[in-house]
Amino acid sequence: DTGVSQNPRHKITKRGQNVTFRCDPISEHNRLYWYRQTLGQGPEFLTYFQNEAQLEKSRLLSDRFSAERPKGSFSTLEIQRTEQGDSAMYLCASSSTADRTYEQYFGPGTRLTVT
Amino acid sequence: GQQLNQSPQSMFIQEGEDVSMNCTSSSIFNTWLWYKQDPGEGPVLLIALYKAGELTSNGRLTAQFGITRKDSFLNISASIPSDVGIYFCAGDLSGAGSYQLTFGKGTKLSVIP
The string of pLDDT tens digits covering residues A24-73 is: 999 989 999 999 999 999 999 999 999 999 998 998 889 999 999 998 89
pLDDT level of residue A2 (50, 70, 90 thresholds): confident
Beta bridge partners of A105: A94
Mean pLDDT over residues B11-17, rounded? 96
CB pairs under 8 A between A and B: 66
Compute the residue count for chain A: 115
Residue B93 has pLDDT above 60, yes or no: yes
Q: Which residues of B touch A91 (CB under 8 A)?
A: 42-43
DSSP code of A85? G
Beta-carbon contacts of A72 under 8 Å, excluding residues fewer than 6 positions away, are A30, A49, A51, A52
| Residue B94: per-residue pLDDT | 72
B60 interfacial to chain A (CB closer than 8 Å): no
Interface of chain A toward chain B, CB-CB under 8 angstroms: 4, 6, 31, 33, 40-45, 48, 55-56, 58, 91, 93, 95, 100-109, 111
State the Cα–Cα distance between residues A40 and A24, nearest whole angstrom: 26
Are the Cβ atoms of A101 and B99 closer than 8 angstroms?
yes
Mean pLDDT over residues B7-23, rounded? 97
Mean pLDDT over residues A87-100, rounded? 90
| Residue B5: per-residue pLDDT | 94
Query: What H or E segment, with its residue span, contains residue A111?
Result: strand A110-114
Are the Cβ atoms of A102 and B101 closer than 8 angstroms?
yes
Beta bridge partners of B36: B44, B87
| Residue B2: per-residue pLDDT | 57
Pairwise pLDDT comparison (A34 vs B93), residue with the higher score: A34
Are the Cβ atoms of A4 and B42 closer than 8 angstroms?
yes
B102 interfacial to chain A (CB closer than 8 Å): yes
Residue B3 has pLDDT above 90, yes or no: no
Residue B69 has pLDDT above 90, yes or no: yes
Beta-carbon contacts of A42 under 8 Å, excluding residues fewer than 6 positions away, are B4, B88, B90, B103, B104, B105, B106
| Residue B35: per-residue pLDDT | 98
B97 interfacial to chain A (CB closer than 8 Å): no
State the Cα–Cα distance between residues A35 and B26, nearest whole angstrom: 23
Question: To probe the interface with B, which of A104, A105, A111, A113 has the most B CB atoms within 10 Å?
Answer: A104
pLDDT level of residue A101 (50, 70, 90 thresholds): confident
| Residue B39: per-residue pLDDT | 92
Identify the CA nearest to A78 among candidates A45, A46, A44.
A46
Compute the residue count for chain B: 113
| Residue B1: per-residue pLDDT | 52
**Alpha-helix runs per DSSP H in A1-115:** none
Asked whether the beta carbons of B45 and A105 are under 8 A apart, the reply is yes
Pairwise pLDDT comparison (A72 vs B41), residue with the higher score: B41
Minimum CA–CA partner of B32 in chain A: A102
Residue B96 has pLDDT above 90, yes or no: no
Pairwise pLDDT comparison (A22 vs A30), residue with the higher score: A22
Q: Which residues of B touch A42 (CB under 8 A)?
A: 4, 88, 90, 103-106
